[in-house]
Chains A and B, each alone.
Chain A
Amino acid sequence: MATFKIKRFNPEKQPQPYYEEFQLDIPPAATLLDCMNQIKWTLDGSLTYRMSCRSAICGSCAVKSNGHALLACQRQAEHLLDDNDTITLEPLGNMQPIKDLVVDFTPFWDKINQVKPYLQPDDEVPPQKERRQSPQEFSLIDDASTCIMCGACYSDCNTLEVDDNFLGPAALAKAQRFVGDSRDAQTHARVQALSEPGGVWDCTHCGECVERCPKPTRPFDRIKEIMTVALEHGVHDNNGARHALSFFNSVKRSGNLNENRIPVESMGFFNIRGLLSLLPAGLRMFLKRKAPPVIHHSIDEVDDVKRIFKELGQ
């Protein structure tokens, strides 16, 4: 007998959420969604969640199970049991709960809308034939186009937890689907917009979205692809790009990081206000003896590092 510990919330009845436990024999080969349905249909009809296709393509049934977002229809319930034969279900994170496991997706869709999620081609002539796109070009957008908008990545994104302004992994993956599309004519404008605050450079590279994504979308990989295209397009005039370039140059020159230089270069040399804002932190580091040495030294094998860069054509 397994225990399903479910976070219940119904503001019509009481303002505070609470946990309720249900006991259920998990039928053979049952998915988590099958079990939720068994609970709803035989134990408590008021249990509320979204679902539709049962085949991991509609993206309705994402919930948190034992603290992590997943698609309920995609996972065998047996595999999710913890050491106490319990599965804890909670609503997705980073969105407001409406009732039980149903959350408000409004901010999620608002952010999808912000990335101009549609093709912007050069010509709007009536199509006589398909435009050509090579299998290689197709492969650049294949993964991003598998996204089902389930919100699992959005739920568990660590940046979103502290920064509402961040577009989030799903919207950025959607953006890459157009940045990488050989048929789209707005690549430069897109990567410029995506380099603004809230865009790709605000990602903390934790990789949680890749862990949670139930499809091959792997949002963080898509975010890195946008970063690469942005740098290739010379979109350098922002903290994120300057930070990445400073990192790159420091390693290329000395084989390690020049920690005095990176914050300054990231802010930009002529960004007086930005530079001044660094001062208090710098001062505190100095007083706590955490400041890096004033004179930066290269590592001994710096020539090897330079050879690697040369080999890579950089």
Chain B
Amino acid sequence: MQLKSFQIRELQEAVALERSETAYKVLFVQLYQSAISFTTTITKNEEVAEELYADAMMKLWFMESKLTDIKDLKLYIFILLKNSALNYLKKERKQRFVSIDDIDRGDVPQTRSVEESLVFNELENMLAQVIDKLPSKCQIVYKLIKHEGFSYKHTAEILGLSVNTIEGHMSNALKKIGTFLKSLNLKD
């Protein structure tokens, strides 16, 4: 289940104005997978991603009524996560400056364990593996658009890249996935 933007808005208001823990829990749980997957692609470390997500959500809770000032909460959370993930990389690599262009360095994350892979059916599983092997930036752009339903503009805003670059990465990701699928010799 993907939350629709009007649903997010409703939950956001329930948290801000009624301090509803139930609404807060729904937001936390429903955005969890997307947020962790996104942040892990940058940090290459799932545990760190979990911590950063918890910190971001904690921040939202303590914004209290100011939370309603945020126009697009999901976009806001992803921007927050991108910034804290890059900050983490900066500390980790002891660099003064780290941008989204630097994230392809370092280890390839093991995002899917063997047991988890068994849950997917075979094609789904292979597709997931191809996506995992895409260059990090391609992968992030692909997931933000395909899985999260962000527009070019919002994806560009989250990553601090231009709209043209986003389209380039997305077409590139699709092409790589397409080439792989074709190699399987698909039949109906």
| Chain A bound to chain B | no
Q: List the interface of chain B (C-beta within 8 A of A).
A: none
